[in-house]
Structure 1
Amino acid sequence: METLRILHTNDLHSHFEHFPKIRRYLHYVQKNADADQVFTFDAGDFMDRSHPLSDATEGQVNIRLMNDFNYDAITIGNNEGISNPHQVLEHLFDHADFPVVLANLREEDESMPKWAKSHLFLTSKKGTRIALVGLTAAYPMTYGPNHWSIKMLGETMDSVMQEIAGQYDLLILITHTGVRMDKWLAKHYPQIDLIVGGHSHTLLAKGLQEGHTWITQTGKWGNYVGDITLHLDDAHHLLDVKPTTIATASLPEEPGDQQEIDALYNKGKELLERSAVAYLPEKYNNDVEAAISVSLDAIADFAGTDLAMLSTGLFLSPFKSGIINKFDLQHALPHPMHVVRTSLQGRDLWRLCMEVEKNRHFLSHFNLIGMSFRGKIFGQVHYKGIKVDMMTRNVYVQGKLLNPNAEYQIAVLDHYVLIPFFPTLSIVGENEFLFPQFLREVVGSYLSKHYPLKESDVFEEEKQEQQ
């Protein structure tokens, strides 16, 4: 008989407030488990640039902290793969003490990324051969512009299953594909014994069995830690799987935890504050309308369009007058969103505006979760270059009545293409995703160009702080 314990996390999203408790729990089980061996995995989205220290260090602080969790293997999520520029991901794991398994991502020349393995073989102390395969969510619309070649799950698994055939006793997938796709994988590849999953932020408190395959996931943000017990016979055949999850809130807090959490945030804040971006005039001081107006100008300028659309819920705080730095921008616009240049026929632009206006009241206070959004409510939509008269249902572009047969380009966000409220964008829009800059970086570059810093500005601000 052999007993294995598998500890797992997913979708930590840089929620460092849970890291001290998670670390202690992992260390305790790794050292004291009533099992023959313990393995520890993470299923992606461990990094989120909405935390100032993750942003300031381009994820290197996440790797440093995760090294102390003693992972045996991880895979990546869309936050690592899409929210980071290509070169940042290329070097994200330079100092990692754990392997990355990821079968469905390639460089543009179809070579394997130097930091990843499509699969990995582990052998337990009692000789059980474990095959690990990693998969991440396949988003060609966004991986392609970021200079990656993403592969669909079916073609990837067909290839990997042939490659590893006959070389394992236990097949485990580490996936960042969501429960729906995990069920699809279990149905189409019944050889899979266990899926350690993430992406859909689903809490499977006791796991989910789909045919022969067990699927596990711990929700999001480190609110839970996964802990699975597996029993195998002497011939290395799997007898049973018993998944469970541990609520992080139920774990004891120790002196120093809060100081560690605060120190990580404050260090990130300090690093970002060192980078001044622009010197804003008084009209921007705590005025959300001014912030959204200049941000509309910024994304239109970046996309090379006359038209643009943004929503007020994106702005978690307004801008301020005087020196604005990278922390100010990160605090105001923490979302890992990219600008999209969308081409629409006039009749379709009219329909998009009608979708906006139809949903306007509902969205103004709609609590939105996911799709790269890091705020609370969607808010009110503002346009650049567009006016809508709902009494006549006419749309005016640059002061002229919209021409239904003309072609228009509008700057929007990938977020608006993904959410279900504006289907025109995804159904008939010709969408060009513009990488690698985030929304806040686009806005920051525009502000620095139009409100450049002068030495006298810095001197005057320092003088005021000293008084």
Structure 2
Amino acid sequence: MNVIIYHTNDFHSNFNNLKKVHAYIKANKTADDLYLDSGDYTDLSSIIVQADSGKSAMQLMVDSQLDAMSLGNNEIDLGKEALVELAKSGVPLLSTNIRDLNHKNIDGIFSSLILQRAGKRFLIVGLSPYYSKNFEHASYDLFFMMGGVTTEEPIVLLKEELEKQKGQFDYAILLSHSGLFVDKVILEKLPEINLCLGGHTHDIATFKGYSQSGQGEKLGKITLEITDTGIVESENIQIDLIEQSNERFDTLYKEAETTTTQILSQPLPIIRELAFDALNESELINFICDALMKEKKSDLAIMHTGIAEQALINPVSKKSLIENFPSKLNPTQYQLSGKAIREAILLSFDVKHIKNSGKGPGFRGRILGTLGFSQNVQVEKSTGQITIDGYPLEDDQIYSVITDDYLQRGSGYPSLKVGDHEATFEPGFIRDLVEKYLLDEEIFASSKVQRVFEEVL
């Protein structure tokens, strides 16, 4: 007899990929099989996720016959209260190493569960991201803690969980949203784990005892042969899924979309529309920079124009703000030398550079874009002259900068990079900041103030 384990990870709210998986699982999964996911199913760039903190989206997974899911960083980004509600969805949510800020377990989130298939007991253990690619400890907590969640070192906790369940299972499966580089270390240290199903790094990786399936575009299929002496992994492959009609999924998705529209499409009051240009100075980016300065007093604000997709156009709603500002990027304050700021500004004049894709952590836009600044900054492109509050930018002077964590990581503009420990991250995303100041007459007025000039003033 065989047990087939189907596996996905990192959908990031790509519901078209889920639709394909849904169709395949409905057609092929038997009562002896398992379907497991290793996290980052949700993504805050999705209006369906934003509308009710993932509850409608999770119902699509329930109908896909998902047996268990580990919590990825994108689920944790929803915050503690949302996780408690998601745990009521019917899909078991697993994480050995997340806690609330008092280091207590979060209601409804479990370290593991045991499922029986073909007369055998399968221990399913969940793991959320903790290490960076350089194996720095608690590398996500600066962001997780803003939502009331913290993480603890996983390997000790995994050992404790395996010991706790010893004798209660025949086969141990780890759902790890840690990345391939961490998973390899875990497998080396914990030989008791029979199969690790990974996520987080979006790898398509298949080898004995391991599977990771990209970003939901493939479906992992691991066949276990149930023998008299134990359980043997006889096959581990990736299935290429094809587009096909799926009326059931289409109906469920339409219902979720309708609910989303009702929740998020209510018009928000706004003083006026704001123009936008990804390659040049615009009112919208000026507005964001001035709002950042009002939110957190600094020497200057800097923002990449790729943060926005288009102009701020009426009617404005939570839905349109999510669509216009899809990136999950937080206001971030830190200190930089004048030299580092100057280098970034000069790079922002390079037309070829600013047309790059802008790919980077948390970024969901289409283009890097040029840089915009708060109204106290003046830049002369022809001479490279830069002033702040009327004084020339000094290369050896240290300035307090307010921006977002995309630029803080050096994405697109390397000279703006500092370590996470050198920065202060503010709750909420840039789109939340825009919403907060939609009726601020002072900032709407200042957005008209020009900051970048082609010629000498």
Q: Same fold (TM over 0.5)?
A: yes
TM-score (norm 2): 0.84
Tell me if the contact between 1:352 and 1:424 (Cα under 8 Å) persists in the aligned partners. Answer: yes
> Partner of 2:235: helix, strand, or coil?
strand
Match in the other structure for 1:225: 219
Q: In 2, distance between residues paired with 1:247 and 1:89?
A: 31
Cα deviation for residue 355 of structure 1 reads 4.2
> Partner of 1:144: helix, strand, or coil?
helix
What amino acid sits opposite 2:80 in the alignment? H
Q: In 1, distance between residues paired with 2:359 and 2:4?
A: 33
Match in the other structure for 1:340: 332
User: Aligned to 2:269, which of 269, 275, 278?
Assistant: 278
Match in the other structure for 1:181: 182
Matches within 5 A, 1:92-131: 92-94=86-88, 96-126=89-119, 128-131=120-123
Residues 151/388 of structure 1: CA separation in 2 closer, same or farther (3 Å cut):
farther
Tell me if the contact between 1:279 and 1:451 (Cα under 8 Å) persists in the aligned partners. Answer: no
User: Aligned to 1:134, which of 91, 102, 126?
Assistant: 126
Match in the other structure for 1:465: none
Q: In 2, distance between residues paired with 1:181 and 1:356?
A: 37
Match in the other structure for 2:9: 10
Answering whether residue 441 of structure 2 is matched by residue 442 of structure 1, we say: no
Match in the other structure for 1:350: 339
Residues 377/405 of structure 1: CA separation in 2 closer, same or farther (3 Å cut):
closer
> Partner of 2:316: helix, strand, or coil?
strand
* Residues 285-294 or 376-385, more deviating: 285-294
Residues 265/450 of structure 1: CA separation in 2 closer, same or farther (3 Å cut):
farther
> Partner of 1:350: helix, strand, or coil?
helix
Residues 97/90 of structure 1: CA separation in 2 closer, same or farther (3 Å cut):
closer
What amino acid sits opposite 1:91 in the alignment? E
Answering whether residue 67 of structure 2 is matched by residue 72 of structure 1, we say: yes
> Partner of 1:279: helix, strand, or coil?
coil
What amino acid sits opposite 2:402 in the alignment? A
> Partner of 1:245: helix, strand, or coil?
strand
Match in the other structure for 1:409: 400
Residues 447/45 of structure 1: CA separation in 2 closer, same or farther (3 Å cut):
same
User: Aligned to 1:316, which of 302, 309, 316?
Assistant: 309
What amino acid sits opposite 2:45 in the alignment? S
What amino acid sits opposite 1:307 in the alignment? L
Tell me if the contact between 2:71 and 2:177 (Cα under 8 Å) persists in the aligned partners. Answer: yes
> Partner of 1:329: helix, strand, or coil?
helix
> Partner of 2:406: helix, strand, or coil?
helix
Residues 287/251 of structure 1: CA separation in 2 closer, same or farther (3 Å cut):
closer
Residues 226/133 of structure 1: CA separation in 2 closer, same or farther (3 Å cut):
same
CA offsets 1:88-125 (integer angstroms, 9 cap, x no match)? 2332323x112111011111111111121112223333
Tell me if the contact between 1:102 and 1:119 (Cα under 8 Å) persists in the aligned partners. Answer: yes
Residues 357/285 of structure 1: CA separation in 2 closer, same or farther (3 Å cut):
closer
> Partner of 1:337: helix, strand, or coil?
coil
Q: In 1, distance between residues paired with 2:81 and 2:342?
A: 37
Q: In 1, distance between residues paired with 2:249 and 2:156?
A: 45
Residues 64/301 of structure 1: CA separation in 2 closer, same or farther (3 Å cut):
same
Residues 383/60 of structure 1: CA separation in 2 closer, same or farther (3 Å cut):
same
Residues 252/393 of structure 1: CA separation in 2 closer, same or farther (3 Å cut):
closer
Answering whether residue 76 of structure 2 is matched by residue 87 of structure 1, we say: no
Tell me if the contact between 2:87 and 2:109 (Cα under 8 Å) persists in the aligned partners. Answer: no
Cα deviation for residue 185 of structure 1 reads 1.6
* Residues 390-399 or 170-179, more deviating: 390-399
Q: In 1, distance between residues paired with 2:369 and 2:290?
A: 19
Cα deviation for residue 201 of structure 1 reads 1.4
Residues 194/256 of structure 1: CA separation in 2 closer, same or farther (3 Å cut):
closer
Cα deviation for residue 42 of structure 1 reads 1.1
Q: In 2, distance between residues paired with 1:28 and 1:187?
A: 36
User: Aligned to 2:369, which of 379, 387, 396?
Assistant: 379
User: Aligned to 2:57, which of 44, 62, 65?
Assistant: 62
CA offsets 1:291-311 (integer angstroms, 9 cap, x no match)? 111111122222333421111
User: Aligned to 2:354, which of 359, 364, 369?
Assistant: 364
What amino acid sits opposite 1:25 in the alignment? Y
Structure 1: unaligned runs, 5 residues or longer: 453-467
Answering whether residue 388 of structure 2 is matched by residue 397 of structure 1, we say: yes
Instruction: Tell me the percent identity.
Output: 23
Match in the other structure for 1:418: 409
Tell me if the contact between 2:377 and 2:387 (Cα under 8 Å) persists in the aligned partners. Answer: yes
Match in the other structure for 2:454: none
Tell me if the contact between 2:121 and 2:171 (Cα under 8 Å) persists in the aligned partners. Answer: yes
Tell me if the contact between 1:280 and 1:324 (Cα under 8 Å) persists in the aligned partners. Answer: no
Q: In 2, distance between residues paired with 1:256 and 1:118?
A: 32
What amino acid sits opposite 2:19 in the alignment? P
> Partner of 1:217: helix, strand, or coil?
strand
> Partner of 1:281: helix, strand, or coil?
coil
**RMSD, matched Cα:** 2.9
What amino acid sits opposite 2:87 in the alignment? F
Cα deviation for residue 39 of structure 1 reads 1.0
Q: In 2, distance between residues paired with 1:38 and 1:316?
A: 43
Tell me if the contact between 2:292 and 2:301 (Cα under 8 Å) persists in the aligned partners. Answer: yes
Matches within 5 A, 1:226-305: 226-236=220-230, 238-248=231-241, 250-254=242-246, 261=253, 264-265=256-257, 267-274=259-266, 276-281=267-272, 284-285=274-275, 289-305=282-298
Residues 262/167 of structure 1: CA separation in 2 closer, same or farther (3 Å cut):
closer
Q: In 2, distance between residues paired with 1:107 and 1:422?
A: 34
Cα deviation for residue 442 of structure 1 reads 1.1
CA offsets 1:327-380 (integer angstroms, 9 cap, x no match)? 221111011221112234xxx343244245347636412223351111112111
CA offsets 1:52-87 (integer angstroms, 9 cap, x no match)? 2221122111122111122221111111112x2333
Residues 438/165 of structure 1: CA separation in 2 closer, same or farther (3 Å cut):
same
Structure 2: unaligned runs, 5 residues or longer: 131-139, 444-457
TM-score (norm 1): 0.82
CA offsets 1:152-189 (integer angstroms, 9 cap, x no match)? 33333343344334443312110111212122222222
Q: In 1, distance between residues paired with 2:345 and 2:162?
A: 46
What amino acid sits opposite 2:188 in the alignment? K
Residues 90/260 of structure 1: CA separation in 2 closer, same or farther (3 Å cut):
closer
CA offsets 1:220-255 (integer angstroms, 9 cap, x no match)? 1x322222111232132x32242222223x253245
Residues 57/136 of structure 1: CA separation in 2 closer, same or farther (3 Å cut):
same
Cα deviation for residue 407 of structure 1 reads 5.0
> Partner of 1:231: helix, strand, or coil?
strand
Residues 327/216 of structure 1: CA separation in 2 closer, same or farther (3 Å cut):
same
Cα deviation for residue 440 of structure 1 reads 0.5
Q: Alignment length, in residue pairs?
A: 428
* Residues 297-306 or 173-182, more deviating: 297-306
Q: In 2, distance between residues paired with 1:38 and 1:218?
A: 18
